[in-house]
């Protein structure tokens, strides 16, 4: 195939003639095959690795005005997280609590897990909602990464019932009060 017949031309072995070295025209293809397989491996691996990862998000479908109202959630099972600016989280327990606290994304896991444990310990067999309900309220100062982080946190902590709703003006004023209380006393109105 890739080899030429060179043996038949130089038949005279006698006569003291200087022998010219016959070189084979056959090329060693091994490195070429090596290279080809290397490239095959590269293409096989990179193209399958490139598939982007994603998080599945299921938003609630918009409600009709005549739909039955959603079940009431007992205040004791609710934990509200308000995603603030500069990667801060404000949180409070219950539905309307003036006791608002401040934390960040590294400590939020313990707070969620504590609340989850507390709620699960207090569950009665008659309860309709059998786990903690987390309400996530991103403020306009939070960013997309905050939202994904907190949704991811729900997956990590195995929280089944959570919802994302807009923040209310009352909560914003509670945060302002908290901020003011840190340094100067809140302004008298």
Partner 1 sequence: MPKKKIARKSTAIDMTAMCDVSFLLLTFFMLATKFKPPDPVEVVTPASISDTKVAETNIITITIDKNGRVFFDMDGIPTKHALIDSIDRSMRLGLTPAEKQNFALSSGVGVPFNQLKSFLNLQPADQKSFKSPGIPVDTTLTDSNELFKWVAYARLVNPEARLSVKGDGGVKYPVVRAVFSTLANKKIQGHKFYAVTSLKANPNQKEGEEEEK
| Region near partner 1 per CB under 8 A, out of 58-66, 89-97, 122-130, 175-183 | 58-66
Query: Which of residues 44, 76, 123, 181 is near partner 1 by CB under 8 A?
Result: 44
How far apart are the C-alpha atoms of 142 and 151, rounded to whole Å? 14
Check residue 169 for interaction with partner 1 (CB under 8 A). no
How far apart are the C-alpha atoms of 146 and 153, rounded to whole Å? 10
Q: How many CA atoms lie within 13 A of 119 on its CB side?
A: 24
Check residue 156 for interaction with partner 1 (CB under 8 A). yes
Least Å distance, CB 115 to partner 1, is: 17
**Could you write out the DSSP letters of every residue in 7-49?**
TTT-----SSPPPPPPPP-----HHHHHHHHHHHHHHHHHHHH
| Region near partner 1 per CB under 8 A, out of 22-30, 94-102, 116-124, 174-182 | 22-30
**Tokens linked to 123:** 């569950």
Query: Which of residues 78, 79, 81, 83 is near partner 1 by CB under 8 A?
Result: 83
Query: Which of residues 6, 10, 22, 29 is near partner 1 by CB under 8 A?
Result: 29
Q: Is 94 left (phi over 0), alpha (psi -120 to 50) or beta?
A: left
How far apart are the C-alpha atoms of 175 and 82, rounded to whole Å? 9
Contact residues: partner 1, CB under 8 A: 1-2, 26, 28-30, 32-33, 36-37, 39-40, 43-44, 47, 50-62, 83, 109, 138-149, 151-152, 155-156, 158, 166
């Amino acid at each position: 195939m890739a080899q030429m017949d060179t043996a038949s031309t130089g038949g005279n072995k006698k006569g003291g003639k200087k022998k010219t070295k016959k070189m084979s025209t056959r090329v060693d293809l091994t490195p070429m095959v090596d290279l080809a397989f290397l490239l095959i491996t590269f293409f096989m691996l990179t193209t399958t690795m490139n598939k982007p990862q994603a998080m599945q998000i299921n938003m609630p479908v918009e409600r009709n005005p005549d739909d039955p109202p959603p079940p009431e959630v007992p205040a004791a099972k609710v934990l509200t997280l308000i995603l603030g600016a500069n990667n801060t989280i404000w949180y409070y327990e219950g539905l309307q609590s003036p006791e608002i606290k401040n934390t960040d994304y590294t400590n939020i896991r313990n707070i969620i897990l504590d609340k989850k444990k507390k709620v699960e310990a207090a569950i009665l067999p008659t309860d309709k909602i059998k786990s903690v309900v987390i309400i996530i309220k991103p403020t306009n100062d939070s960013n997309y990464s905050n939202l994904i982080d907190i949704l991811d946190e729900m997956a990590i902590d195995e929280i089944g019932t959570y919802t994302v709703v807009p923040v209310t003006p009352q909560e914003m004023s509670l945060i302002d009060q908290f901020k003011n209380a840190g340094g100067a006393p809140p302004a008298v109105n």
